[in-house]
C-alpha cells in the first residue's frame, strides 16, 4: 500500500481511476471538474448526462475517455457553511464512496484531488486531516487498491496534506 502526495495537474496523472471533485449535476463546472471534463472530451459529458446527477457525499463512475485513466469517479463535495452542517461527515463520505467504487472496479491506482477546498471553501487543513485519515484507513484494509495519489493543485494545499500525513503517522 502506498499513499503519495504530489503537486500537479490531476488530468495528467496516470491511474486506473481519477477522482473528479464534481458538482451534483455531474455536468461539468469550474476547477478540477471543468479541467477533467475538458481533458476527457465530450464523451464524458454525454455519459454523465445518463447518470442523472449525484448526491453530495456519494460517488458515481464513468469511463475515462481521453484521460490517462480507465475510469473517472465523480463525487460532489460539501460546500463549507459553518462546519456545523455536516460538512466534515460529508467530505469523509466523498472519500469513502470514491475508494469503495475504486475497490469494486478493481482499480490498483487512484488519483484524488483535494475535494471541496477550492470554490466550496472547505478549510484546507481540516479537509487534509479528514482525507488523510480516511485514505489511510481504507488502504489498511483494501484488497485491490495499491496506490493512492493525492494530487494537490498548489503548494499551499500540498503543504496542508504533508502536515496531515506527518501528524497521522506519529
The predicted pLDDT at position 153 comes to 94
User: Could you list the residue range(s) of the whole structural domain that residue 14 is in?
Assistant: 2-168
Residues 91 and 116 sit within 8 Å (Cβ to Cβ): yes
Cell numbers representing residue 110 in the block: 487512484
Separation CA 162–CA 170 (nearest Å): 13
Ranges assigned E (strand) in 27-155: 60-63, 69-76, 109-112, 147-152
Is the pLDDT assigned to residue 168 strictly greater than 90?
yes
pLDDT band at 1 (very low <50, low <70, confident <90, very high): confident
Of 22, 2, 25, nearest to 10 by C-alpha is 22
Residues 95 and 113 sit within 8 Å (Cβ to Cβ): no
For the domain that residue 100 is a member of, what is the CATH number?
Answer: 3.40.220.10
Q: Cα separations (Å) of 16 from 80, 113, 160?
A: 30, 15, 25
Is the pLDDT assigned to residue 94 strictly greater than 90?
yes
pLDDT band at 17 (very low <50, low <70, confident <90, very high): very high
Of 115, 119, 111, nearest to 56 by C-alpha is 115
Burial category of 77 from C-beta neighbours within 10 Å (exposed 0-12, middle 13-18, buried 19 and up): buried
The predicted pLDDT at position 60 comes to 98
Q: Cα separations (Å) of 121 from 55, 83, 116, 118, 131?
A: 18, 11, 6, 6, 15
Percent of the chain at pLDDT > 90 equals 96
Q: Give me the active site residues, please.
A: 33
For range 68-87, the mean pLDDT: 97
State whether the Cα torsion 86-120-31-131 is positive or negative: negative
Question: For 19-31, how does the pLDDT look when each residue is reduced to its tens digit (9 = 90+)?
Answer: 999 999 999 988 9
Residue 102 belongs to what H/E stretch? Answer: helix 87-104
Number of domains composing the chain:
1
Amino acid at each position: 500500500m502506498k499513499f503519495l502526495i504530489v503537486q500537479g495537474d490531476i488530468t495528467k496523472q496516470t491511474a486506473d481511476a481519477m477522482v473528479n471533485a464534481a458538482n451534483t449535476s455531474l455536468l461539468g463546472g469550474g476547477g478540477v471538474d471543468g479541467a477533467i471534463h475538458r481533458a476527457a472530451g465530450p464523451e464524458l459529458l454525454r455519459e454523465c448526462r445518463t447518470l442523472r446527477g449525484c448526491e453530495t457525499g456519494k460517488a458515481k463512475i464513468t469511463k475515462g475517455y481521453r484521460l490517462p485513466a480507465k475510469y473517472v469517479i465523480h463525487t460532489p463535495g460539501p460546500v463549507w457553511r459553518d462546519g456545523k452542517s455536516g460538512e466534515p461527515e460529508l467530505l469523509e463520505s466523498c472519500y469513502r464512496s470514491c475508494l469503495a467504487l475504486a475497490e469494486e472496479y478493481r482499480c490498483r491506482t487512484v488519483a484524488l484531488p483535494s475535494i471541496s477546498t477550492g470554490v466550496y471553501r472547505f478549510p484546507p487543513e481540516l479537509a487534509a486531516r479528514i482525507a488523510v485519515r480516511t485514505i489511510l484507513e481504507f488502504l489498511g484494509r483494501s484488497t485491490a487498491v495499491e496506490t493512492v495519489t493525492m494530487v494537490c493543485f498548489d503548494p499551499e494545499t500540498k503543504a496542508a496534506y504533508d502536515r496531515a500525513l506527518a501528524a497521522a503517522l506519529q
